[in-house]
Chains A and B, each alone.
Chain A
Amino acid sequence: MTQRLAPRAILEIVTVSVLLVLPLGSDRLFDSYYLDLASRIIITWIALLGFDILAGYTGLVSLGHAMFFGLGAYGAALTLLHVSSSLPLALLAGTVATTAAAAIVGYLSIRTQGVYFILLTLVFAEFGYEVVFNGGEITGGQNGLASLSTTPVKLPGLGTLDWSDPTVAFYLALVAFVIAYITARWIVGSGFGSTLAAVRDNQDRATYLGYDVAAIKRRAFVISGTFAGFAGALWAQHESYVSPQLLHWTLSGQFIIMTWLGGVGTLVGPLIGGAVLMYFAEFLSSILKNWLIIFGLLYIFVVLYAPQGLWGIVMYPPWKRSR
């Protein structure tokens, strides 16, 4: 195929290329703080991928996404504090715990539809938050858990990977994200992915074509939660600190804003939304503490007039759209 590269491919290549060399500029071209910010954005991207699979591709908006993010974070944190300071183990524990929770919550929530589904996920999210907030010694209560340390990994002949080194941490996040992104692309492009679209567009007809809609939704829910949990575990290690706020439904709300602003249902859109929001949050918070209001207004505009979001406008500008 000698066609021109699709816009998305260009974006993907450029982004990864820039990110690969980003650490080189740290302390030379820009303050090292921005490397840290970049890491956090990339980790959030992983959570957003999961959110878009559920909300954008399957049509299920969950206010419990933050709960899974926080669960992954706490799972990793507790592992690091009480079991072992091996990072891979912590990541695994956080992710697996979240997958299990997502399976349970998903199985229970999928029985409801539409508005009731959103509200039920909200109730579960609040439950999770309350448990962690009031978890006393175990969860650190409202203060959370801090000082999470990981042991460096010795690579024979290559040196040591110290996870607390900003550059190492950045590449860890980047590698994790690339794996997550490739996985997400594969999922939505697979046969299973097309059934998600069917469920989103007309789940009634999908049933009468022979699709087990409930099972498809459950699977999507678990996949989505797993992405969030993995991201949360990475976050815990990166920040070396977890707090109940990571589970609060208002964080799910931020995921919603990021996703819709960027372009729901495109995988790339939410990433753009997330990057823009988090970047400007850092910038604007010194000028305007309540920077979120700007994004709130933009978000309202998008919901009403441009539901395809930023990326949708790039891909299908109004003058090109055939719809």
Chain B
Amino acid sequence: MTVEAILTQLLNGLTIGAILMLIAMGLTIIFGLMDVVNFAHGAMYMLGAYFAATLVARTGQFWLTLILAPLGVGILGFLLERVLIRRLYGRDPLLQVLLTFGVAVVLREGVEILWGPNVQTLLPPSALAGSIDLLGIQYPTYRVTVLVAAFGIAGATWFVLSRTNIGLIVRSGVHDRDMVDALGIDVRRVFTGVFVAGSMLAAVAGVLVGPLRSVQPDMGNDVIVDAFIAVIVGGLGTVGGAVCGALLVGIAELLGALVIPGMAKAAIYIAVAIIMMLRPAGLFGGRRAAT
């Protein structure tokens, strides 16, 4: 195993982790603020990829798609939240899991009906073809772009959360929903906004990952478990935790594939199970311990 091979896998893991990070951030805030375990989140990621595939195929504009596809998913997320999700606020969290699970099933089947079961192609912009010199190895330009874009967006999200009024409201809401309500802020609008934003983050991840992984109807289901793991490991409700969790999972998966091919994922799952049993609040202590 050469240093180049390890480095390449590390970067691959980082890339996948970066994608996962965008998904996990949305997932964790949605849970932290609204107590919703959003099983449909993987479907948002999938729809982002599918919208992008269609848009790029029609228009050939990747960068425009990177903006339009998430917007489309955002609209869908808006409708979802207003029509379905909000009916279960304050009720048994179990019902929310059940509901979002149902939504995930419907969306997955719906996508297969509309687009067919075959893999869709999503081509990256030709400008990003080829590879560049990175840390002494040749690494695909597109992947580097993904890294830059993902971290950039994550950084922007972090900025919004920590430096703006809206971010303050969201963070306070995660901390104490009723207090925000008492301050006269329409909590329901915040919920909708957060759900839409989270869905859009997942959609962006879907667009970015499209050229790297196959765009097919099961991609939502395939990613949702990893997303939950990232969120749990980091701590449900903490964005920083989600980021760290996602990167850890990504790197662990790909480096693990080098060391114990085939069983890497299984080993990760066992490790996560142990963490969940010993430290249910996650490595960085989420808002809620096992309740």
Q: 7 A-B contacts, Cβ less than 8 Å apart? A: A113-B291, A116-B232, A119-B228, A123-B225, A124-B269, A124-B273, A303-B95
A118 CA / B224 CA spacing, docked (Å): 14
Are A296 and B262 within 8 A (Cβ)? no
Distance between A203 CB and nearest chain B CB, rounded to angstroms:
12
User: Mostly helix, strand, loop or mixed at chain A's interface?
Assistant: helix
- Whether the pair A131, B266 counts as a contact (CB closer than 8 A) is yes
Contact B221 A250, beta carbon cutoff 8 Å: yes
Q: Given A130-B269, A134-B262, A256-B98, verify A119-B291 contact (CB < 8 Å).
A: no
B49 within 8 A of A: no
Q: Is the CB of B273 within 8 A of A257?
A: no
Distance, CA A260 to CA B272, complexed state (A): 29
Whether A115 is near chain B, meaning CB under 8 Å from some CB there, is yes
Tell me whether A296 and B105 are in contact in the complex, defined as CB-CB below 8 angstroms, given that A118-B97, A304-B99 are known contacts.
yes
- Flag B12-40 by CB within 8 Å of A: 1 or 0 each: 00000000000000000000000001000
CB under 8 Å from chain B, chain A span 155-194: none
CB-nearest residue of chain B to A295? B105
Q: Given the interface contacts A114-B291, A118-B37, A123-B272, does A108 sit within 8 Å of B277 by beta carbon?
A: yes
Which B residues are CB-close (under 8 A) to A108?
273, 277
B58 within 8 A of A: no
Q: Which residues of A117-172 have CB atoms within 8 Å of chain B's CB atoms?
A: 118-120, 122-124, 126-127, 130-131, 134, 136
Question: Is A120 a contact of B276 with CB atoms below 8 Å?
Answer: yes
The residue on A at minimum CB distance from B106 is: A296
Chain B residue with Cβ nearest A250: B221
**B106 near A116: Cβ-Cβ < 8 Å:** no
Q: Are A130 and B265 in contact (CB under 8 A)?
A: yes
Q: Count A interface residues, CB 8 Å.
A: 38
Instruction: Mark out the residues of chain A between 243 and 289 whose CB falls within 8 Å of any chain B CB in the assembled complex.
Output: 249-250, 253, 256-257, 260, 289
Given contacts A115-B94, A116-B276, A119-B276, 7 further A-B contacts (CB under 8 A): A115-B37, A119-B232, A123-B276, A296-B106, A297-B106, A300-B103, A303-B99
B263 at the A/B interface (Cβ < 8 Å)? yes
B229 at the interface (CB under 8 A from A): yes
List A contacts of B280 (CB < 8 A): 112, 116
Partner of B98, one of A111, A131, A297, A303: A303
Does B112 have its Cβ within 8 Å of any Cβ on chain A? Answer: yes
B residues engaging A (CB < 8 A)? Answer: 37, 84, 87-88, 93-95, 97-99, 101-103, 105-106, 109-110, 112-113, 117, 221, 225, 228-229, 232, 236, 262-263, 265-266, 269-270, 272-273, 276-277, 280, 290-291
Closest to A290 in B: B109
A81 at the interface (CB under 8 A from B): no
B229 cross-chain contacts in A, Cβ below 8 A: 123
Q: Which chain A residue shows the least CB distance to B231?
A: A119
CB-CB nearest in chain B for A109 = B277
Tell me if A304 and B291 are in contact (CB < 8 A).
no
Known: A61-B94, A116-B280, A120-B276. A300 touches B106 (CB 8 A): yes
Most chain A CB neighbours (cut-off 10 Å) among B102, B112, B269, B277: B102
Residue of A nearest to B94 (CB): A61
> B112 to A290, Cβ gap below 8 A?
yes
The reply to whether A296 and B93 contact each other, CB–CB distance below 8 Å, is no
Q: Who on chain A is nearest to B262 by CB?
A: A134
Give the docked Cα–Cα distance between A256 and B99 (Å).
11
CB of A299 closer than 8 Å to a CB of B? yes
* Chain A residues with CB below 8 A from B276, complex form: 112, 116, 119-120, 123
A131 proximity list for chain B (CB < 8 A): 263, 266
B102 touches A122 (CB 8 A): no
Q: Does A41 contact B (CB under 8 A)?
A: no
A300 to B188, CA, bound (A): 22
Residue on A with the closest CB to B266? Answer: A130
User: Closest Cβ of chain A: how far from B113's Cβ, in Å?
Assistant: 5
Q: Which residues of chain A come closer than 8 Å to B221, judged between CB atoms?
A: 250
